[in-house]
Amino acid sequence: MICTPNAHITDSHFYRTGYTTDEARRIFCDRYRYQRWLDIEAALALAQAELGMIPQWAADAINEKAQLRFLNLDAIQKGVLESSHSLLPLLRALESVCESNAGQFIHFGATTQDIQDTAQALEIRDVLAIVKRDLAKIMELVAGLARRHEKLVMIGRTHSQHALPMTLGLKMAVWLDELGRNLDRLMACEERVLVSQLFGGVGTMDAFGEKGIALLSRFSERLGLEAPLTAWHVARDRGAEFLSTMALIGGTLARIADEIRSLARSETGELEEPFTMGKVGSSTMPHKRNPEISEQVVVLARLIKANAGLGFEGMINEHERDYRAVRLEWVTVTDTSLFVCGALALMKTLLEGFVVREEKIRKHVQQAAAFICTEALMFLLGEKIGKQRAHQVIYEASMEAIETEQPLMDVLMDRAEIKNEFRRADLEKAVNPENHIGLSR
């Protein structure tokens, strides 16, 4: 096999589908990124021409030639290596193909970070469009599952132990509610993060003269971005907000996935992610059906969370320019975007083929009926012996039933204070889980 330079996991021909999607990868590939920078240079030139800052013919020429197909990419790559500058070789290549000296008006008054920060905002805009679309689809799937299982009584669990009856629909409604809050966060984040950058070397706009603010407005409008109030070359809270918002979304997806993984345990087997013949869980244990999708969503959420921490590190910068934060963002914004799109795609797959083992859920509920209805039983006993005394009696009986592996009802009816005050039939009626799901539906 010939080794290819696909060293990053998201570029691996074998493993990338577990980490991202091709749709997300396209946003950040070199060709798309360079074309985006050219698009921004063209938008800048056209906006400046509208304001009479550069000749219209020059802006038109720049706009016409600001296409990668006209440029020598090998020469640009060589130039980046020689100059250690990420943008200048691209600008020189564009200048070389512009006729009639129009190239002299390229990048007129802007600084490199103006172009690259604006481009990153456009990249984030494309990512947020995917995230909004997929999050809405996931909410639709969860809402459908919640409606389908609104009446299915199951065991509610706290601290990994049986607690009280609830419905599977309620569990899913809690998922849906959290997803909805993340959608709200996403919309709020979008308003602050999707802004342009065009302020020159130290944020003064001096090279643009008195037309700086008007230029910023027209430039931003052409690109479909908001115009910020001031330069944000070192104010990197927008990047940190994007990364932390993605971490919250990833965390929610991971919590849902991990709940499915937990309830798919061999001892429980109530929920299960999609399975198709040919999917292998182990090279040495042929019987395994591992929750691979659920586990991978958790993996991605942890990677996203780690990047969010670096986003906060990037907020600490010196003076009016500091590339330490920007170069962190080139990695963290890219990787986080790839990972969150991957997690959303995996979650859609998980939910579209989601398996609910209804009979097993019902069986577990019936087996645990007495224990998971002790709250209702306590209130019934409390009508005659007082609530606190009822709690103590049921506590002692429950501990004995657990230790001796006897039915709780047998242990309770052996106690004189219960046998003399209550009929077994009344107590058994009180521990019907169907009657104790509260307002779940």
- Active-site residue set: 159, 282
Q: Which residues contact 122 (CB under 8 A, 6 or more apart)?
A: 36, 40, 223, 225
**CB crowding 27-37: b at 16 or more within 10 Å, else e:** bbeeebbbbbb
Return the residue matching tokens 């691979």. Answer: 292
Give how far the C-alpha of residue 81 lies from the chain's centroid of Cα atoms, to the nearest Å.
Answer: 35
157 phi/psi in degrees, rounded to 5: -125, 140
For residues 313 and 47, give the distance between their C-alpha atoms in angstroms, rounded to a whole number.
Answer: 35
How many CB atoms sit inside 10 A of residue 262's CB? 15
Return the residue matching tokens 């019934």. Answer: 380
For residues 214 and 296, give the distance between their C-alpha atoms in angstroms, rounded to a whole number.
Answer: 48
- Write the burial class of residue 293 (CB in 10 Å: 0-12 exposed, 13-18 middle, 19+ buried): buried
For residues 107 and 102, give the distance between their C-alpha atoms in angstroms, rounded to a whole number.
Answer: 11
For residues 169 and 157, give the distance between their C-alpha atoms in angstroms, rounded to a whole number.
Answer: 15
Return the residue matching tokens 């980046």. Answer: 80
For residues 176 and 189, give the distance between their C-alpha atoms in angstroms, rounded to a whole number.
Answer: 20
For residues 276 and 355, give the distance between their C-alpha atoms in angstroms, rounded to a whole number.
Answer: 12
